[in-house]
């Protein structure tokens, strides 16, 4: 193969951590921890949050994540609500400063770029595990066809067999999050009064319920379970983000229970879904603050549809079609969380996207060879659409439902 390594490990895509937001919770927490380690002599810190981090940080528990990372040392947090997004190098920008007494020890400007990943201005990206030499789906598909490989075999070739141990841990956490969410009741924090619904939904079987209705209800319950755990600050797996973490585990767990697929089958599905997520992350964005909810829920639906296609041992063209359909019909979706909380409309969107992934699988089963749009084209379209969205529709809580909702 040779050439320049262009795509990161699936370990950088699937991250295990606490919600409610990979970009607004995981990323800032990681940045604060790294910054603290850089200045061990500091006795206090300061953090200035800009753009989406400032406008939705309270609801995303950004301040809590930063304060916890610096504890027990004090940290003063400033919320910059005035600087427009187009004046920032990235919509998720934060500045950290360390002090010893009155003396400043140093500053960082950090960008939380999505999926829990951060970049520090003036420094190389933080320890990326770049392992894949190909970046587009077309290149990957051509390579797999030429070498008679499935996508999961492509992953194994460049990640090594140890990737299956990592995906086993990912699947273990995904299932644990579903089960925890299905057994938890109560009201989510934040003041919206959102009741947890997963436990109620999974138990509401009607005597005349059809198989299709039962599938929708259970898949939705699983997606609600993960999303509610995420909103409550529980442990989740980014797939590809915290806010969209309910889609992939919901469909894979339901289909495993329904048809008895082995855990190995699921690991292969996770690997295939990961390739799709990585292509989107590499060539576009998985950040709601950068490209709207299409970049989060749209990407999650695309990953889930491809993972399902792998689970059913479909061909590469069918996997591509499932992923393309799933993304295409999320194009233009805005990110407008009410109160900056990852609750409304985020939780329901996970459930709807999970059902849509199953629908995309059905279309791929019948219509693959009539398609006109490639996956790479729809990824490029998503990115251009996202960049054209007004900033108020990109995770600022200044437009859409967030603007018009009244209690």
pLDDT tens-digit profile of 353-369? Answer: 999 999 999 999 998 88
Which pTM value belongs to this model?
0.91
**Residue 3 in this model has a pLDDT that exceeds 50:** no
**Comparing C-alpha atoms, which of 298, 237, 292 is closest to residue 10?**
237
Task: Give pLDDT, residue 340.
Answer: 93
> By the 8 A CB rule, do 396 and 403 touch?
no
Mean pLDDT of 68-80: 97
The whole-chain average pLDDT of the chain stands at 94
Task: Set out the domains of the chain in order of their start, with CATH numbers.
Answer: 23-120 (3.30.1330.90), 130-404 (no CATH)
As a three-state string, the secondary structure of the chain is CCCCCCEECHHHCCCEEECCCHHHHHHHHHHHHHHHHHCCCCCEEEEEECHHHHHHHHHHCHHHHHHHHHCCCCEEEEECCCCCHHHCCCCCEEEEEEEECCEEEEEEEEEEEECCEEEECCCCCCCCCEEECCCCHHHHHHHHHHCCCCHHHHHHHHHCCCHHHHHHHHHHHHHHHHHHHHCCCCECCCCCCCECCHHHHHHCCCCCCCHHHHHHHHHHHHHHHHHHHHHCCCEEECCCCCCCCCHHHHHHHHHHHHHCCCHHHHHHHHHHHHHHHHHHHHHCCCCHHHHCHHHCHHHHHHHHHHHHHHHCCCCHHHHHHHHHHHHHCCCCCCECCHHHCCCCCHHHHHHHHHHHHHHHHHHHHHHHHHCCCCHHHHHHHHHHHHHHCCHHHECCCCCCHHHHCCC
| pLDDT (tens digit per residue) in 199-212 | 999 998 777 788 88
Mean pLDDT of 29-34: 95
- Could you tell me the pLDDT band of residue 376, with boundaries at 50, 70 and 90? very high
Instruction: List Cα–Cα distances, 97 to 30, 31, 56, 60, 369, in angstroms.
Output: 15, 12, 21, 22, 56
| pLDDT (tens digit per residue) in 116-141 | 889 999 987 655 668 999 999 999 99
């Amino acid at each position: 193969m040779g050439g320049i390594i262009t795509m990161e490990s699936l370990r950088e895509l699937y991250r295990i951590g606490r919600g409610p937001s990979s970009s607004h919770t995981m990323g800032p927490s990681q940045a604060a921890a790294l910054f603290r380690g850089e200045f061990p002599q500091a006795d206090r810190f300061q953090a200035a949050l800009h753009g989406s981090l400032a406008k939705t940080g309270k609801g995303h528990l950004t301040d809590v994540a930063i304060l916890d990372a610096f504890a027990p040392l004090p940290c003063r947090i400033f919320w910059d609500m005035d600087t427009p997004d187009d004046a920032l190098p990235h919509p998720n920008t934060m500045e950290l400063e360390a002090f010893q007494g009155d003396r400043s020890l140093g500053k960082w400007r950090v960008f939380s770029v999505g999926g829990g990943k951060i970049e520090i201005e003036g420094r190389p990206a933080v320890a990326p595990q770049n392992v894949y030499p190909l970046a587009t789906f077309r290149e990957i598909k051509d390579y797999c066809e030429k070498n008679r490989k499935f996508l999961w075999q492509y992953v194994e070739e460049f990640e090594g067999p140890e990737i299956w141990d990592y995906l086993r841990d990912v699947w273990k956490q995904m299932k644990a999050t579903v089960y925890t969410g299905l057994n938890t009741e109560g009201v989510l924090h934040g003041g919206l009064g959102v009741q947890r619904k997963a436990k109620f939904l999974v138990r509401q079987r009607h005597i005349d319920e059809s198989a299709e209705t039962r599938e929708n209800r259970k898949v939705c319950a699983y997606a609600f379970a993960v999303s509610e755990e995420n909103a409550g600050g529980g442990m989740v797996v980014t797939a590809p983000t915290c806010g969209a973490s309910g889609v992939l585990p919901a469909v894979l767990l339901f289909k495993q229970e329904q048809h008895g697929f082995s855990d190995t089958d699921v690991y292969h599905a996770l690997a295939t879904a990961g390739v799709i997520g990585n292509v989107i992350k590499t060539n576009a964005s998985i950040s709601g603050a950068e490209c709207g909810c299409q970049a989060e829920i749209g990407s999650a639906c695309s990953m889930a549809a491809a993972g399902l296609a792998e689970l059913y041992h479909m061909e590469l063209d069918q996997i591509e079609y499932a992923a393309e359909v799933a993304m295409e019909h999320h194009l233009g979706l805005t990110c407008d969380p009410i109160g900056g909380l990852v609750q409304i409309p985020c939780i329901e969107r996970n459930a709807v996207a999970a059902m849509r992934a199953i629908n995309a699988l059905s279309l791929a089963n019948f219509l693959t060879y009539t398609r006109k749009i490639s996956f790479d084209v729809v990824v490029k379209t998503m990115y251009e659409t996202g960049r054209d969205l007004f900033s108020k529709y990109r995770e600022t809580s200044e437009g859409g439902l967030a603007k018009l909702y009244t209690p």
